[in-house]
Amino acid sequence: MLLALFIAVGSASCLQFESSVTDITDSPGLALFALLSGSVNGAGTNSVVRTKYVYIPFRNEDTLRILEFNADTGALVETAGAGSPVATGIEPIGVCLHPTQQYLYITQRGSNSVAGYSIDASTGALTALAGSPYAAGTQPWDCEVHPNGNFLYAANFGGGANLSLYTIDPATGVLTAGAAQTSGGNSAQSIAFSSDGSLLFASHTISTDVGVNTVNPTTGALTAVGGSPFASSNFNRQLALTPTGNFLYVPSRNDSNFRIYSVAAGVLSETGGSPIASSGQVQGAVVSPDGNFFYTGQQTAAVVTGYSLDQGTGAPTALGVGPFAASSPQTLYFEPGGSYLFAISSVGASGVAVFQWDSSTGGLTPGPSSPHTFGNSPHQAAFFTETVTQ
């Protein structure tokens, strides 16, 4: 009899699996024990992905800070000895991590550029890549690296060609600009990929719509799906996809609501009672790792509001707990370990709120010393992980 054991190994944004096969046919007793305890070949231990470093650009002080995260307690401190804060170009806003975790990129809105860095995995320290910074379009905002690691896209809020496209040298991380791409609307701000990288979604704040494009995996070129862009609310912001990719949630700052779309081959259709009225300038949006909960960040209401989700229809139901106090939250993230929600405020020095997440109720509990104030006007966050054997 053969028993296959699977051990999780962490990467930048997902879990990979390696298999180990042991022949225990000569010992039925050992086979039963192994099945009950998972201890064949020492495999009773678990390997888990935990967040180690958090990278956050601070727009009004032109810096990028390197923060060390304690996944056991939720504590967040500036990393000693890693050279934090790192001086950047003018108005750094977006930040994105390469799937290999070797490279980090930031958009610099005031400099119309993208800066790239290599990462020292032992300290979190950053070293500028050759040729960095790289020219972008007007006022680049969000950036995302394609899941295959070959391309980077920067959303240009200033209009014109909506997205800057770059190829990434896997050996060096260096960016080479490709042909500018259009995401189908005016003033692209937030970008999201389907899990397989076949679709790119972009929110457009001025044209009040969402563009959906197929991605050529060889060239990175975008092609609009039929019907794109799709009408949305006024000044829509951070996009949130369910883990299955079946539903997309789009918050609106000016209309104080969020819209829900079903996604079928990239075509968006409003569903689930959309739009859902809220309050206080809805800006941030994130779906929990299990797909059971959805959260919004409301800037002027200064709260994070949670909903349970019907995974069949995408419809939200307000939680029986909360809302949860957070100073002017604009972007929301679940760190890759899946235990904490980060709420980032870009208004003044309000800082970074860290909440421990209750996966059974959806409730949020502030971590130690949260919210944290490290600098002026943080905006987005990227998370570097490590694999720990327990």
Name the residue ranges covered by the structural domains of the chain: 2-42, 65-80+248-374, 88-231
Q: What pLDDT, on the 0 to 100 scale, is given for residue 28?
A: 36
DSSP 3-state assignment of 19? Answer: strand
pLDDT level of residue 45 (50, 70, 90 thresholds): confident
* Ranges of H-type helices in the chain: 28-37
Whether 200 shows a pLDDT value over 90: the answer reads yes
If you average pLDDT over residues 75-90, what whole number do you get? 92
Cα gap 105→97, rounded to integer Å: 6
Whether 362 shows a pLDDT value over 70: the answer reads yes
* Start-to-end Cα distance in the chain: 28
Closest CA to 69 of 389, 369, 378, 332: 369
Q: What would you measure as the largest C-alpha separation in the chain, in angstroms?
A: 70
- Radius of gyration for the alpha carbons in the chain, expressed in angstroms and rounded: 21
Whether 89 shows a pLDDT value over 80: the answer reads yes
Are residues 129 and 117 in contact, defined by beta-carbon separation less than 8 angstroms? yes
| Answer CATH for 88-231 from 1.10.1060.10, 3.40.640.10, 2.130.10.10, 3.30.1280.10 | 2.130.10.10
Q: What pLDDT, on the 0 to 100 scale, is given for residue 109?
A: 96
If you average pLDDT over residues 310-315, what whole number do you get? 94
If you average pLDDT over residues 159-171, what whole number do you get? 89
Q: Is 172 left (phi over 0), alpha (psi -120 to 50) or beta?
A: alpha
pLDDT level of residue 203 (50, 70, 90 thresholds): very high
Average pLDDT, the chain: 87
pLDDT level of residue 81 (50, 70, 90 thresholds): confident
Q: What pLDDT, on the 0 to 100 scale, is given for residue 40?
A: 40
pLDDT single digits (tens) 240-281: 999 999 999 999 988 889 999 999 999 999 998 999 999 888
Whether 94 shows a pLDDT value over 60: the answer reads yes
Label the pairing between strands 113-119 and 103-108.
antiparallel
Cα gap 26→31, rounded to integer Å: 9
Q: What pLDDT, on the 0 to 100 scale, is given for residue 333?
A: 98
For domain 65-80+248-374, give the CATH superfamily.
YVTN repeat-like/Quinoprotein amine dehydrogenase (2.130.10.10)
Closest CA to 200 of 252, 256, 244, 144: 144
Q: Which of 21-30, 198-207, 371-380 has the lowest mean pLDDT?
A: 21-30
User: What is the CA angle 143-148-149, rounded to 5?
Assistant: 55
Are residues 105 and 143 in contact, defined by beta-carbon separation less than 8 angstroms? yes
If you average pLDDT over residues 277-303, what whole number do you get? 93
> Which has the higher per-residue pLDDT, 222 or 22?
222
Q: What pLDDT, on the 0 to 100 scale, is given for residue 389?
A: 87
If you average pLDDT over residues 335-346, what whole number do you get? 94
Q: What are the residues whose beta carbons fall under 8 Å from the beta carbon of 218, sequence distance 6 or more?
A: none
Q: What are the residues whose beta carbons fall under 8 Å from the beta carbon of 317, sequence distance 6 or more?
A: 307, 308, 309, 310
Whether 38 shows a pLDDT value over 60: the answer reads no
Q: What are the residues whose beta carbons fall under 8 Å from the beta carbon of 32, sequence distance 6 or more?
A: none
If you average pLDDT over residues 352-376, what whole number do you get? 93
Whether 168 shows a pLDDT value over 90: the answer reads yes
Residue bearing tokens 């995408």 = 314
In CATH terms, are 65-80+248-374 and 88-231 the same topology?
yes
Q: What pLDDT, on the 0 to 100 scale, is given for residue 137?
A: 93
Beta bridge partners of 164: 154
Whether 9 shows a pLDDT value over 90: the answer reads no
Residue bearing tokens 């046919």 = 25
Q: What pLDDT, on the 0 to 100 scale, is given for residue 351?
A: 83
Q: What are the residues whose beta carbons fall under 8 Å from the beta carbon of 170, sequence distance 6 or more?
A: 100, 149, 150
Q: What pLDDT, on the 0 to 100 scale, is given for residue 162?
A: 87
pLDDT level of residue 63 (50, 70, 90 thresholds): very high
Long-range contacts of 207-210 (CB under 8 A, 24+ apart): 208/232, 208/233, 208/234, 208/235, 208/236, 209/184, 209/185, 210/185, 210/236, 210/239, 210/248, 210/250, 210/261, 210/268
Q: Is 333 left (phi over 0), alpha (psi -120 to 50) or beta?
A: beta
